[in-house]
Structure 1
């Protein structure tokens, strides 16, 4: 449904424009449009700003500026999504590093506690041995004097 130059042309979907992108695949999905494209469209690259028309490189026909604009808008949305995802990944990596530091600190604390507890157990075992020895000595001295 192409219109006169300057009017919005809807390639698919509701001609009233209530949801201009409702027929586009979900850009977050790996099985969506972006994930299925092996090569960039003719006349441009994903990171470039200049795109040829969907019909062919350099061909001009009535209503073509709207198609160019639609492709550019789609690629701009994909690039924006990539920037957001890249930022989110960097933030997640930072959080992961913080969590790794917490785990390392907890592991060191656990190790320190284990060493302290082992030392306390060793000291208590020595004390028990001394008490048993003292108890035997006391019993034997009572037996000799009794």
Structure 2
């Protein structure tokens, strides 16, 4: 149920896989603890985990007094607990987002030539070959279709 990744001083506890993927994608030195329960059921999850496996299974959660998911612990102290936007997380960690480019490139203009449509009733699914007539429009001339 718990997946651990080694780290020096940063611990991130979460249920939502998207949040974990965002952190890991940035190649941060983070120990990620993924919990297999819903956010609302986290306190019950801790209770059952301690009941089944003893206090050693919940030691990491009890040490930092984690009560809600997700939780970020930095250098031994809890930075935040509970739902927090990922942008706020990056701000807390001191990361800057990629600068937005202000250079606007002009779009190239292409010249387009109009061509007459070459449509024949013989390829249409509504053309009845036996009657040589369009089923929809009732057209008799298949070389000059109205569609």
TM-score if structure 1 supplies the norm length? Answer: 0.25
Structure with more of its chain in strand, by fraction: 2
Larger-Rg structure: 1
> Which one has more relative contact order, counting CA pairs under 8 Å at least 6 apart?
2
TM-score if structure 2 supplies the norm length? Answer: 0.25
Structure with more of its chain in helix, by fraction: 1
